[in-house]
Amino acid sequence: MSAVMPERNAHADVWQAYKSRHDLRARDSLIVRYAPLVKYVAGRLAMGLPSHIEVDDLVSYGVFGLIEAIERYDPDRQVKFETYAIARIRGAMLDSLRAFDWIPYSVRQKARELEAAYAKVEARLGRSATDAEVASELGVPVERLHKMLRDVQGMALVSLDEVLSGEDESGNQVRTMEVIGDASAQDPLSYVEFEDRKRILAEAIERLPEKERLVIALYYHQGLTVTEISRILGVSQSRISQVHSRAVMRLRSRLAHRLSA
């Protein structure tokens, strides 16, 4: 990620040329300058998407988000362009995926069935439903319910650039990215708990098989994309995704056990 981050005030003259004179050559220069952001976001987003979604397609969608970000960005505001652009790029990718309806009809139908079951049980009981209660309502084993939940988890994607209902004090539309809390505003107790969870996570990662531990390190610590990791390890991108998913499942299981102890 650091490779695409410009130094402070770099390209200020190019921004000035585009914003003040609408110089198209300046805009093209900015697109070329920040194009690596599109590949970066595509690589990160691809890890959580079905295998039939091509990274190249995400890049194509993201370019439109980058262009929109350049057109709307105000250099005078105290916001780094990269921070602003990444939200726009990711939003454009997700919006395009939704427009092409990449979620199969069977998955949408399954999601509606689950939502109806949860709503019916919770309305009857007046509290949150347990997995066993929802499974009983559906007439399936709990294991089957868990599989159904895994099948529909991809539908939970949300664009940070999505417009929420309502307006701010100035009458402007409010977007998801503008209402996310400041994660750095932690109280001492939260900080201690966070550090303890990091320690537990580090111990869980150390217990992973070597290849899974390597993929986790390259993806989360080094910030490499699926494509880059596949080149390093000499295996397919789908194989890297499988290794990543297996590692995450192991970590979730171990963390759930440790944190509940």
**For the segment 212-258, what is each residue's pLDDT rounded down to a tens digit?**
999 999 998 888 988 899 999 999 988 998 888 888 888 887 777 77
Q: Tell me how far apart the alpha carbons of residues 253 and 251 are, in angstroms, rounded to a whole number.
A: 5
Alpha helices in the chain, H assignment, sequence order: 12-21, 24-46, 55-72, 81-99, 105-125, 131-138, 142-152, 188-206, 210-216, 226-233, 237-260
Whether residue 93 sits in one domain with residue 136: no
Whether residue 95 sits in one domain with residue 7: yes
Q: Write the CB contacts of 33 (distance below 8 Å, at least 6 apart in sequence).
A: 6, 11, 14
Whether residue 173 sits in one domain with residue 195: no
Whether residue 129 sits in one domain with residue 200: no
164, two tokens: 């929420």
**Lowest pLDDT segment from 28-42, 118-132, 184-198, 220-234:** 184-198
Whether residue 112 sits in one domain with residue 95: no
Q: Scanning the structure block, which residue is given the tokens 């091509």?
A: 54
Nearest in space to 154 (alpha carbons), one of 89, 97, 230, 215: 97
Residues 10, 30: contact at Cβ < 8 Å?
no
Judge whether 183 lies within some domain: no
Whether residue 46 sits in one domain with residue 15: yes
Judge whether 162 lies within some domain: yes
- Angle between helix axes 226-233 and 237-260 (nearest 10 degrees) is 110
Q: What is the pTM of this model?
A: 0.41
Stated length of the chain: 261
- The domain containing residue 250 runs over which residues? 188-260
Total number of domains constituting the chain: 3
pLDDT, mean of residues 134-162: 76
Q: Where on the phi/psi map is residue 9: left (φ > 0), alpha (ψ -120 to 50), or beta?
A: left
What CATH code is carried by the domain that includes residue 142?
Answer: 1.20.140.160
Q: How confident is the model at residue 51 (pLDDT cuts 50, 70, 90)?
A: low
Q: Tell me how far apart the alpha carbons of residues 61 and 191 are, in angstroms, rounded to a whole number.
A: 38
Q: How confident is the model at residue 3 (pLDDT cuts 50, 70, 90)?
A: very low
Neighbours of 41 (CB within 10 A): 25
What CATH code is carried by the domain that includes residue 30?
Answer: 1.10.1740.10
What CATH code is carried by the domain that includes residue 203?
Answer: 1.10.10.10
pLDDT, residue 8, reads 42
Residues 218, 232: contact at Cβ < 8 Å?
yes
Cα–chain center distance at 128: 27
Domain termination residue (choose one: 81, 99, 117): 99
Domain termination residue (choose one: 99, 114, 143): 99
Judge whether 230 lies within some domain: yes
Whether residue 67 sits in one domain with residue 45: yes
> Across the chain, what does the average pLDDT equal?
80
pLDDT, residue 253, reads 79
Domain termination residue (choose one: 159, 178, 197): 178
Q: How confident is the model at residue 186 (pLDDT cuts 50, 70, 90)?
A: low
Q: Write the CB contacts of 118 (distance below 8 Å, at least 6 apart in sequence).
A: 129, 134
